[in-house]
Amino acid sequence: MTAMPAPPPRRAIRLAFLGGICAHLLTIGIARFAYTPLLPAMQAEAGLTQQGAGLLGALIYAGYLSAVLLLAGLRDPRLRLGVFRACLVLAVLSTAMMGLTAHPWLWAISRYLGGLSGAGGMLLAAEFILGWLCRNGARPDLGPHFMGLGLGICLSGLVVLLLGGSLGWAGQWGVFAVLAAVLLPAAWMLTPVPEPMAPAAAGTHAPSPAPGARRWFWLFGAGYLAAGWGYAVGATFCVDILAAGGHGGGTAAAAWIVLGLANAAGAMAGSVVSRWYGLMPVLFGAMALQALSLAGLAAGGGIVFAYLSAIVFGAAFVVVVALSLLLAGLRMPGASGQAMARMTLLYGTGQILGPLATAELAGRSGGYALPLLVSAGLTALGLAAMAAAGGRQDPG
């Protein structure tokens, strides 16, 4: 029987997570999310219309889903590493492109590529880190990596808030491009690389799923789809609700920062608490908190209550994402990246359906309360589906 390798030093683990965080900051925080706090300036100064803004936002998501579809069928670790590094470079180039032109078609290409790069920073870096931890006998954990998601949200809002519009929309995109170039080397060098595919296995098919794996995947995936629905609705309207109760031009950016800080704190809290109580109980608790926070946003109760609901929402949804992807990766150790990508496609389906249904419900009801309550109910149903999937996959 082969002895388990000694866990790597804490410094090596911290550096691996730092690489993933830098990849998140670069590809998610800047290439994908900088557009959100800069949108008002682009509409006021660059003539971006409401329709154009919606199209650019849709292209970000289209790029992300395109990359996820590619990763769902791509097995060779060398090719996956090549895609990851290409995503890092595209994140820098697509960010720089936004400030160098005012041509709508070039903006469209930039936002598509920026969205595409996000899949590298989130999914591929998570896959590489999880594989490296498992190969080296360390405890599987993605919480510190997903801290980068919240820190990326916070970074995008903080830069815009500090600049205060002094450089104009193009100058602010230039600052983001410089930050992206600074983050690139750390993300490239510190993120662990995947283990090459064994020569004997290079031409083989993916291993057959374990008994019950298909049932688990679809039940758990249905719950994850519901979580994606709730995330899309909450994230879309959370900042608007907070900004509506504030004062001054920086309120929306400040609300975005609050959401990002809650997100980063939630990722670490989920990592720590899951060591005490296990992955599944913490995941179920996070799903319940996401449902409650959506109901809290629908209930009103003043700006303080809205901020508290937003903080709980920001902390909860990232725990759901981190633990769900970790569980999917552990379920299929021979193809963890593909499992994560397929799970993300289900989450993305919820992200598409949620805003579409919300727009229809909000139009008929005259407000966001009903769509938020529907999303809270669906998240609760998603929790039930995950519980019905069963199975225990806690790292030792």
pLDDT of 396: 45
Phi, psi of 367 (to 5 degrees): -175, 180
Q: Are residues 307 and 385 in the same domain?
A: yes
Q: Which two tokens stand for residue 215?
A: 């049932």
pLDDT of 1: 45
Rounded-to-integer distance, Cα 348 and Cα 362, Å: 21
pLDDT of 246: 59
CB burial class (10 A; 0-12, 13-18, 19+) of residue 47?
exposed
Residue after which a domain boundary falls, among 191, 225, 259: 191
CA angle 25, 263, 317 (to 5 degrees): 115
pLDDT mean values, one per 10 residues, the chain (396 residues): 64 93 94 86 84 83 88 87 95 95 90 91 91 88 90 88 84 95 96 76 52 81 93 76 59 75 92 90 95 87 80 92 90 80 88 80 78 92 92 53
Q: Are residues 235 and 89 in the same domain?
A: no
Residue after which a domain boundary falls, among 132, 161, 191: 191
Q: Are residues 222 and 148 in the same domain?
A: no
Whether 348 is in a domain gets the answer yes
What are the tens digits of pLDDT across the range 110-120?
999 999 999 88
Whether 98 is in a domain gets the answer yes
Q: Are residues 248 and 186 in the same domain?
A: no
Could you identify the residue written with the tokens 């998603």? 382
Whether 305 is in a domain gets the answer yes
Q: Are residues 84 and 163 in the same domain?
A: yes
Q: Which bin fits 47, alpha (ψ -120 to 50), beta or left (φ > 0)?
A: left
CA proximity to 384, closest of 220, 273, 225, 214:
220
pLDDT of 319: 94
Q: Are residues 247 and 185 in the same domain?
A: no
Say how many domains are in the chain: 2
What's 311's domain CATH number? 1.20.1250.20
Rounded-to-integer distance, Cα 205 and Cα 49, Å: 49
Q: Are residues 294 and 257 in the same domain?
A: yes
Q: Are residues 219 and 187 in the same domain?
A: no
Q: Are residues 240 and 185 in the same domain?
A: no
pTM, rounded to two decimals: 0.85
CA proximity to 265, closest of 343, 214, 317, 213:
317
Could you identify the residue written with the tokens 């920073």? 121
Q: Are residues 235 and 311 in the same domain?
A: yes
Whether 196 is in a domain gets the answer no
CA proximity to 297, closest of 369, 393, 224, 359:
369
Whether 393 is in a domain gets the answer yes
CA proximity to 310, closest of 230, 381, 252, 255:
255
Q: Are residues 151 and 241 in the same domain?
A: no
Q: By residue range, what is the domain housing residue 36? A: 13-191
Q: Are residues 215 and 306 in the same domain?
A: yes
